[in-house]
Every structure is written in structure tokens, then in C-alpha cells.
Amino acid sequence: MFGLMLGLTIALFIFKKELMRLGNYGYLGTFFLSMFTNATIILPMPSILMIIPLGATFNPLLIGLVAGFGGAIGEMTAYVAGYTGRTIWRDNQAYQKAVGWLKKWGMLIVFVFAVTPMPVDVMGLAAGNLRLPAWKYFLPCALGKIIKYIFMAYLGYWGWEAFSKNENLQTLLLVCGIALIGTSIIFGLALSLENWDWKRARK
């Protein structure tokens, strides 16, 4: 699945000029593409990769907004699955952790999962199972995804601008370095949260 998304991302860069001709329909396509790729639970698709070339082609702010909103709507499939299948996921370890975190942190943990590359689907399953009001799952999920996608869209925009203007390699490395550092910090916070929760459970 990752290979498929990577291939599609490369194709979006190759056919950048053709995409630009879509105009405002490009944003509509981004919305539905993000909604579809985020609606999969069993076989998740890393749609975040596709935001990079789309941000380089269209307005990165608008791409981040429509992709984040569409992605949050797609993630509601996990909420519905958790709501209607209360006993199916009960023995899954990741699901059990998600239930515990959701009871402790509420909307904040949904936002953390949505703004990072962590699988927010498991939070949707837990939220549905616990009968958390749909808006308490949707709003932090949408906010987190919008922030994440805006960042990725601008990463594509800045990277393409540096490449198209034949700027030196240092500029490209700076953009990639910022993205790597930002991702590392986010993952570090997520892992710290999990480690802290595990230590508390052992006491």
C-alpha cells in the first residue's frame, strides 16, 4: 500500500502542469482523495505523502484545509465501526491502550494522534466503543489533520520553489531537515507519552 501511494505521489509531481489546469477542481479532488484514503481501517493508506505534491501545485493553505477536513470525515468510519462493533476489538492490545488513553486524556489524545503520523483510527474505534459524542472525536481529529496537512503542503511548496528556482542544495536540505526534526519531535512526544503511561500502570 505504501508503494502504491509513493508511486501516486511521484506521478503527481510528474504531471504537475496537467494538475494545474484543474483549477478549483483540484481542491475538490483533494478533498475526496483524502476522505477516501483516511476511510480505510484494515489497510490504511499513507495519504500524507500525496499532500506534498498537491501543496506544490495548488495553494498550500487551501490544500491543507480541504485535505484535513476530508480526512477527518473519512476517519469517522473508524468511529462508526467502534460504535457498532463493541466486542470485535476488545482483545486488541493497541485498542485497549487507546481506550485507557481516551478515558484519561479525552479530546487531547485524539488531537495528538491526528496531528502526528500515529494511527488515529484506533482512537476512532475507542471513541465509538465508549460512546464518546461524535463531535468530541471529529473536532480534535479535524484540527490535528488540518495542522499536519498544512505543514506537509507548505513543505511541498517550499521544496518545489527551491528546486524550480535552481537554488542551492543547502536550501533543500534545510527544508528536509526542518521536516525531519519536526517529525522526530512529534514521535518523541508520542513515545514519551506511551512510556509514561506504561510506568504508571506498573506502579
Contacts of 157 (CB under 8 A, 6+ apart): 55, 56, 60
| pLDDT, greater one: 181 or 154 | 154
Q: Rg of the Cα trace of the chain?
A: 18
Give me the domain span that covers residue 81. 2-202
Q: Give the pLDDT confidence score for residue 201 in this predicted structure.
A: 42
CB 78 within 8 A of CB 128: yes
Over the stretch 1-35, which tens digit does the pLDDT of each residue have?
445 555 665 666 566 666 667 777 888 988 998 89
Number of domain units in the chain: 1
Distance (Å, rounded) from C-alpha 128 to C-alpha 137? Answer: 9
Taking each helix axis from N to C terminus, what angle separates 60-84 and 121-129, rounded to the nearest 10 degrees?
Answer: 40
What is the Cα–Cα distance from 181 to 103, expressed in whole angstroms? 30
pTM for the predicted model, two decimal places? 0.74
Predicted confidence (pLDDT) at residue 61 exceeds the cutoff of 90? yes
> Do residues 104 and 130 lie in contact, with contact meaning Cβ atoms separated by under 8 Å?
no
pLDDT, tens digit (0-9, with 9 covering 90-100), for 124-160: 989 998 899 999 999 999 999 999 999 888 887 776 6
pLDDT 10s digits, 95-122? 788 888 898 888 999 999 898 878 888 8
